[in-house]
Structure 1
Amino acid sequence: MNFVKNACRLNPDVLYSFHMASTEEFLIDFYRDNDLGITHIFRYDFPIPKIYEFHTKEIQNVKVIVFRAVAGI
């Protein structure tokens, strides 16, 4: 969220951001409260490879979303 908050302070015309899918409703409200309208939501399964000893699977797919937001909508 620090990235998104700082990006909003720059008054962008367009902002793309990448998030865990479980945060979708929170982010929709956040963008609305910051005068950014969401024009697109892209949904993906993002593969995370086994890179730490505590990982139990070779690849874990995580559901993510990418928002495209536009100022003033």
Structure 2
Amino acid sequence: MAGPTTPAVRDITLGRLLEQAARSAPDRIALISGVPDPALRRQWTYAELHREAQRTARAFLGRF
């Protein structure tokens, strides 16, 4: 049994998708931490999230 055919499946990695979002909307909020106290919730823009993802990927490459 096949699943739905729309919307079309995109052939893109999560890293590439994040890179595109960081390029097109760098200052837009991408992620908000889910802690109960709103005053303690950290936010990341797409540019910040992309930088952190790149840093994490480099650390993994250096270790593994």
Using structure 2 for the length normalisation, give the TM-score: 0.25
Higher-RCO chain (CA-CA 8 Å, sequence separation at least 6):
1
Q: Is the strand fraction higher in 1 or 2?
A: 1
Using structure 1 for the length normalisation, give the TM-score: 0.23
